[in-house]
Structure 1
Amino acid sequence: MMNWERQCFLFIRGEGVDVSNVKIHSENPTGIYFKEFRRAGEIKVQYYRKDSAASQMSIDDINFNYIEKAKFLHVTGITRL
């Protein structure tokens, strides 16, 4: 895990989010993207997700028993803008 990935993980955990089911992929990095607001109406988005750990996930990586017990479930995806 790269330092910035670890810092994100520690921050989220420090905010009280249960990270007990987070899986760290030893060969694939965490994907990330940056959204830059430039002039009025101009947005630049940079994606760094090729071969990311999430892109390698399969249905077998999901602990459905854990999800069923969750009070909240936050699901996100990558948007074009």
Structure 2
Amino acid sequence: MSAWHKIRPTWQTADEYDVELIVREARPVEGLTRLERVLVARGLTERAVPGEEIARIVGVTPRTVWRWRSEGFRQAA
């Protein structure tokens, strides 16, 4: 994670319970931090959910999901 991302609070905080609930239910939710979006996308990818559906659930474009996948979800590591 870059120094820029480390100072951004939206990259540092994630409610793991909320993330797991969203992954389990695969339903759209508003108000996720950027880190939570990446974690949800990673969890849904592990469950073989299509990229377009993941994008709809986390509120990003399909291109963003494909980029996260190509980067190996580095931001959430």
Which TM bucket (shorter chain)? Answer: under 0.3
Q: What TM-score do you get using the length of structure 2 for normalisation?
A: 0.26
Task: Give the structure with the larger strand fraction.
Answer: 1
More contact order relative to length (CA 8 Å, sep ≥ 6): 2
Q: What TM-score do you get using the length of structure 1 for normalisation?
A: 0.25
Q: Which has the larger radius of gyration?
A: 1
